[in-house]
Amino acid sequence: MQLSPPPERPAAASPPGGPRQRPGAAGSAARAWGPSRFEGRLADRAVGWLRALLGTLLAGGSVAPAPAATLPPDQAEALFHSYDGGGVKANGPAFLVRKSLADRVSLSAQVYVDAVSNASIDVVTTASPFRETRRAVQLGAQTLVRDATISVSASSSREPDYIADAVNVDLTNEVFGGMTTVSLGYTRGHDQVGKKGLGWIDQALHWQYRAGVTQILTPTWLVSLNAEAIADSGYLGSPYRAARVFGAAVPERNPRTRSSRALELRSVVDTSAWVARSSLRASVRGYADNWQIRATTIEFGGRKRLGERWLLDATLRAYRQSKALFYSDNASTQTLYLSRNRQLSDFNDTAVGARLNYDWPGLAPGHKLVLTASAERMQYRYRDFTDLRTGRPYAFDANVLQLYATATF
């Protein structure tokens, strides 16, 4: 759900089932099963609603109650993504197709491929760099019941040493004449954990519960509040990662249960009265779990129409996290649980991103083609995770690039 998530993306840009924290991974996707996993899923509940609002605002109108719930339009999306940072390079395509049947049911299929070249600090200091490919698929269906939208999906992600499967159910209902939207969701995940040379060694189970409300406060102001709770059980570490005790490497030992809570407040305001066809947004998110991690994310962003064809979006985000109770860079004694996973340490990151959309002209009525390019620059600074190669606190920068096309028909 990525406490430091990439800027709002098309569905094809989000790996089905979500990325998982894998040995040596870095960047936003690496914290998929840490505090950051909430952000993407929390935001997803509101992003569609916010996008609809922004489309109205930037067209020069004000917020008005929707007449009724509607299914998403028939669409096809194709994306190429690239990540480069901290010794990790990942790139590949993603595809999404969505089709309605008799205006009653919308079916979708999504495919995501990630080719990873991993030479992160975890890998180069304890093992050898490696290459692998992750493939993920997701099938989904949406239907309408009066003013409610019911969504069901199943996803599966495959890597040589990790399999993640999940089932999702979401309900969105418009009340009070469309002025308020209430959402509920549930996800059940099952992972199989493997290790090269040993095969499948353990498993992990995940339960996720989410709820949110979006409220139109004025013709130009919308606010959403989203809450999420997750329970994890099973193998929650990495079979490749080592901790340190008096400088000596020992196997990592994490608790086999974890419970997490997150709360996010997001606001979008039409600023066309000051700058033509523009809007601003802001959000703050808090996270806490029983591993004693506390985290806060603050994000600001804005959009501006440039003529009839171009849309510019910019985002600035800051994230701060405290360390887990059993984390230690170099422990002075053996304890029941011990980890040197830097994603459980005390660190912060900042990100700045921009996205540019172009509406392709001259298409037949009812058809639309949008070309998009987005880039994001992230900086990670770890306070108590030492780079064993230099003896200094570890830090790195990362770049994310996405190019995609969305066709509506």
pLDDT at 21: 38
The mean-pLDDT minimum among 52-61, 204-213, 281-290, 373-382 falls in 52-61
Q: Which range (4-8, 241-245, 355-359) has the least confidence?
A: 4-8
**pLDDT tens sequence across 33-71:** 233 332 333 333 333 434 444 444 444 444 444 446 788
Q: How confident is the model at residue 127 (pLDDT cuts 50, 70, 90)?
A: low
What's the confidence (pLDDT) of residue 128?
A: 64
Asked if pLDDT for residue 125 goes beyond 80, the answer is no
**296 within 8 A of 51, measured Cβ to Cβ:** no
Q: How does residue 305 score in pLDDT terms, banded at 50, 70 and 90?
A: very high
Q: At residue 231, does pLDDT exceed 80?
A: yes
Q: How confident is the prediction for the chain on average, in pLDDT?
A: 84
Give the tens place of pLDDT for each residue, 168-202: 999 999 998 889 999 999 999 999 999 988 999 99
Question: Which is more confident, 357 or 58?
Answer: 357
Span 9-23, pLDDT tens digits: 233 333 333 333 332
∠ CA 345-348-349, rounded to 5°: 130
Distance CA 288, CA 229 (A): 10
